[in-house]
A and B are shown apart, each in its own frame.
Chain A
């Protein structure tokens, strides 16, 4: 009887400890909410403009049709948007392979006037993995192709 009671006591203690632990973890994660963000999106920059020249990271989608190569061949200008705000970005250097229109990008740099001048570009991949041959097909077409090639 006393063995069962001791076991019961340990279980209750453990549950209390676990609840406290998860609570502490959630509170810490909540407090980190903004500090732990790897980048700002354009609407963050619009709401809270950083000081000119302060190093920040800007992340968002490269707007379709907005990439323009400058005459020197290594400078690109494009617009990063998040559906609410848009920021023009200038970058000089080699862009990553996944840097294409309509996909995600994180730029490291600073605001100079109204333009974000980037020292470094990182491409952000989305969560989709699709074979090259099927990228333009609808789900039904793709299924048909898979069935035919089996």
Chain B
């Protein structure tokens, strides 16, 4: 794994891998959205509003996957001191926050016609809103730590520790509808079982795969940007010294 600690080698791989993730991701996601929005029959109770499922659920999964990426990368950074781990964690924050925001917005729009309200403070909705605020805090902390590192400080460990502590919210989100009475329904898809009919499930899973590939591509893109920023800053510093 430390073979990719060399940024030049990683950048070569990333440049080659990025379109390989983004192009099929876009094709699959757009195809699944067209399938879900235009071709799927209405739900027995919700009618046409069921179509929000095809964007709400992948966004929810990726919002949580984003923080899982931050947590795992933070462990690798803290224990193995892998030079790219901190960059990967920071790169996952913005797309993760974006998918979390999409999930909250589409969920709210979906709740109005189905439940009869835009928002309630039940366990699932509240813990997911907390996830969005954790992302905001993480992004602010990471950019502050980067400024600190540029001036010779050592605050980047704090970012990794915050990423790790925030991960406690992920199992809480997952279990919130089981532990507490909530307005949000219990999980439809559990280990090997699905309460979603195949007519809806197939485009949902294809869309989730497509959005995941896009997510991976965007993380690589942001890693390249962050590495380029670090290089530019180092070069500027050397010039200032000379």
Q: Which of B36-54 contact A (CB under 8 A)?
A: 40-47, 50, 53
Interface size on B, residues (CB 8 A): 45
Residue pair A98, B41 in contact (C-beta under 8 Å) = no
A-B contacts, 25 listed (Cβ < 8 Å)? A7-B79, A22-B168, A25-B171, A25-B172, A33-B179, A36-B179, A38-B121, A38-B122, A38-B180, A59-B181, A59-B183, A97-B46, A99-B116, A100-B45, A106-B183, A120-B116, A120-B117, A122-B120, A122-B183, A125-B45, A125-B114, A127-B187, A128-B195, A130-B43, A131-B197
Interface string of B32-76 (1 = CB under 8 A from A): 000000001111111100100100000000000000000000010
Residues of A participating in the B interface, judged by any CB pair closer than 8 Å? 7, 10-11, 14, 17-18, 21-22, 24-25, 29, 32-33, 36-41, 59, 95-100, 103, 106, 120-135, 142, 146
B162 to chain A, nearest CB (A): 12
Known: A100-B45, A122-B115. A25 touches B168 (CB 8 A): yes
Which residues of B lie under 8 Å from residue A122 when comparing CB positions? Answer: 115-117, 120, 183
Interface string of B111-127 (1 = CB under 8 A from A): 00111110011110000
A contact patch SS: mixed
Residue pair A129, B197 in contact (C-beta under 8 Å) = yes
Cβ-defined partner of A33 (8 Å) among B45, B50, B180, B185: B180
Q: Let me know if B186 is at the binding interface, CB within 8 A.
A: yes
Rounded to whole angstroms, the CA-CA distance of A30 and B44 in the bound complex is: 36
Which residues of A lie under 8 Å from residue B187 when comparing CB positions? Answer: 127
Residue pair A132, B43 in contact (C-beta under 8 Å) = yes
Known: A33-B180, A106-B183. A129 touches B50 (CB 8 A): yes
Q: Let me know if B6 is at the binding interface, CB within 8 A.
A: no
Q: Which residue of A lies closest to B40 (CB)?
A: A131
Residue pair B181, A18 in contact (C-beta under 8 Å) = no
Q: Which residue of B lies closest to A97 (CB)?
A: B113
Residue pair B122, A98 in contact (C-beta under 8 Å) = no
Rounded to whole angstroms, the CA-CA distance of A98 and B110 in the bound complex is: 12
Q: Which residue of B lies closest to A94 (CB)?
A: B116
Residue pair B183, A38 in contact (C-beta under 8 Å) = yes
Q: Let me know if B198 is at the binding interface, CB within 8 A.
A: yes
Cβ-defined partner of A10 (8 Å) among B40, B45, B79, B195: B79
B7 to chain A, nearest CB (A): 21
Cβ-defined partner of B179 (8 Å) among A29, A98, A120, A146: A29
Cβ-defined partner of B43 (8 Å) among A33, A100, A129: A129
A87 to chain B, nearest CB (A): 15
Residue pair A36, B180 in contact (C-beta under 8 Å) = yes
